[in-house]
Structure 1
């Protein structure tokens, strides 16, 4: 029997409030929880609902081992989201400061997808049905 497990990605970023605003504006995430401010004025976690999953952002704190992609020289993880309109989501992300790494196009494996780097260095695969 498989235990009931939920996985909630927590993205480490320099500025959780700025990241929260980006994910709300670009992806339609809904902020559902914001922890009280830490000593440096940043929230320790901001929780969002994105579709049926939780997406959290927290500040980079080297003493805790919480490092942002800029601290690591790049992102060690790819976040993949499947959406109805990958082109529109990619365009919204870029309009809010993200950059295209691989253009969103029809792919030979039967999906329309591409890669976007958000303003905080995290890499996203945006995918959906062929058009």
Structure 2
């Protein structure tokens, strides 16, 4: 059986508008949808496109079980992004507030990769071809 499936990660953050601005600036994401504001003044979801991939950001709402990495004491998920120039993307993310967790270097498994933590606690593996 073949299923037609698309997976769109939803990143839980304290401030979806601030997160959306970061992902647009740091990843070049395009905001493609923004839900109306909820009672607390935050959108319930903001959808983004980067190349052919989609992801969402939503506010942390503890009563729904939607917890941010800070609420959990760290991120339970690694988001991997493969790009032509991992160093350039890593530098761009860092210049917008991400922090290096593992430096981007040539790895023995045949990729150039490293890891950053975005300002909202989400962990990103940035990978590409060796150089």
Per the normalisation by structure 2, the TM-score is 0.99
Which runs of 5 or more structure 2 residues have no equivalent in the other structure?
none
Q: Counterparts of 1:10 and 1:50 in 2: how far apart (Å)?
A: 14
Q: Deviations over 1:75-99 (max 9, x none)?
A: 0000000001000000010000000
Q: Counterparts of 1:81 and 1:33 in 2: how far apart (Å)?
A: 21
Work out the number of aligned pairs and report it. Answer: 131
Q: Which residue of 1 aligns with 2:76?
A: 76
Q: Which residue of 2 aligns with 1:64?
A: 64
Q: Counterparts of 1:25 and 1:46 in 2: how far apart (Å)?
A: 15
Q: Which residue of 2 aligns with 1:128?
A: 128
Which runs of 5 or more structure 1 residues have no equivalent in the other structure?
none
Runs of 4 or more consecutive aligned structure 1 residues displaced over 3 Å after TM superposition: none
Q: Which residue of 1 aligns with 2:40?
A: 40
What is the DSSP-based 3-state SS (H/G/I as helix, E as strand, rest coil) of the residue aligned with 1:17? helix
Q: Counterparts of 1:82 and 1:76 in 2: how far apart (Å)?
A: 20
Q: Which residue of 1 aligns with 2:29?
A: 29
